[in-house]
């Protein structure tokens, strides 16, 4: 059985408070994109879980969320058979794109199917939060408002069709460092999450991009100036807007034109600012109806024809020759 574990970006990320248990309360708009890891699961007569990956530095025991997810279900349902799992990573590691959480979600879905456990998507999401706050969303996918510590999810209509340029600099950022250095009393600007949700409901791409914002940039960007440099590079080359995803360091730019997106990708690679560069699209887009650029959410908006199929292919394994995946 082969499964795809889709990456996500945060179109908007606000932190509203800190709980007594140390977790932060957030309000985020999450979006899956067509970039994915591959998880292959095979049933084995030999009991236990065996995990291999294409990255030698990743753990293959209970330090890996894939292993934890499989063990969670296999223990709960007393599954005596074993499984052999192979994880092929393409989503950048420690990049703020929920790669590990999405891999865990794929493991939950795969074990549920393989052993015919009969769990619903909602039941898988309820178990996923035991592994990580982003796992329930990664089971759900699509466009969603996430609240609480990220586990309270409201499904939203798909965002309009657009192109997503991903740039990850050659640095890793600790999520613990970012949240540990976030001082909410010093944050003066918060993204308009409610306005973004309304723009999504109105299928207004420019209303969405006008409201993109991430309070965690106030910590990560000063510590790693290359993030702002990548954002500026994307904006200079035609992005409607650009922002850091999650706690960083990955930057994404939203484009409404495939030619501009491809030009910006090439320029970003030439600049050397980004160690890993990908060009892809949103997952499950909600049509191609755009509002007015620079305006407020519009009722209706202007109808824009979809780009020709295949102009910007999905960020799938083995597409490096086409510029979709560049290491």
Q: Could you give the residue numbers annotated as active site?
A: 8, 134
Taking Cα atoms as reference points, which of 64, 62, 73, 50 lies closest to residue 5? 64
139 phi, psi to nearest 5 deg: -70, -40
Distance CA 234, CA 153 (A): 30
Distance CA 39, CA 41 (A): 7
What is the torsion angle, in degrees rounded to the nearest 10, for the CA atoms of residue 120, residue 126, residue 127 and residue 133?
Answer: 130
- Which run of H or of E encompasses 202? none
CB 245, CB 35: distance < 8 Å: no
Distance CA 235, CA 269 (A): 15
8: β partners: 32
Burial of 148 (C-beta count, 10 Å sphere; 0-12/13-18/19+): middle
């Amino acid at each position: 059985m082969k499964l795809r574990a889709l990456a996500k970006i945060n179109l908007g990320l606000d932190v509203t408070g800190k709980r007594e248990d140390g977790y932060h309360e957030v309000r985020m708009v999450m979006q899956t994109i067509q970039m994915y890891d591959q998880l292959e699961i095979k049933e084995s007569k030999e009991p236990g879980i065996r995990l291999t990956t294409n990255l030698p530095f990743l753990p293959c025991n209970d330090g890996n969320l894939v292993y934890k997810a499989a063990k969670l279900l296999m223990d709960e349902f007393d599954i005596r058979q074993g499984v052999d799992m192979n994880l092929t990573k393409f989503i950048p590691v420690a990049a703020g794109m929920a790669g590990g959480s999405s891999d865990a979600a794929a493991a939950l879905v795969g074990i549920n199917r393989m052993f015919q456990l009969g769990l619903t998507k909602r039941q898988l999401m309820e178990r996923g939060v035991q592994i990580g706050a982003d796992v329930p969303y990664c089971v759900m996918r699509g466009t969603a408002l996430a609240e609480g510590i990220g586990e309270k999810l409201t499904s939203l209509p798909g965002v309009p069709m657009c192109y997503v340029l991903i740039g990850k600099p050659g640095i890793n950022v600790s999520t613990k460092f970012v949240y540990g250095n976030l001082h909410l009393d010093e944050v003066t600007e918060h993204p308009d999450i409610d306005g973004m949700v309304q723009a999504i409901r109105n299928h207004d791409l420019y209303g969405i991009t006008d409201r993109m914002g991430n309070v965690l940039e106030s910590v990560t960007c000063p510590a790693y100036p290359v993030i702002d440099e990548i954002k500026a590079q994307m904006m200079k080359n035609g992005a409607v807007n650009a922002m850091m995803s999650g706690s960083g360091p990955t930057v994404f730019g939203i484009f409404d034109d495939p030619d501009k997106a491809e030009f910006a990708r090439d320029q970003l690679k030439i600049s050397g600012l980004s160690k890993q560069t990908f060009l892809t699209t949103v997952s499950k887009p909600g049509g191609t109806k755009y509002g007015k650029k620079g305006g407020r959410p519009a009722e209706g908006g202007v109808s824009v024809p979809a780009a020709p199929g295949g102009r910007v292919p999905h960020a799938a394994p083995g597409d490096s020759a086409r510029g979709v995946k560049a290491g």
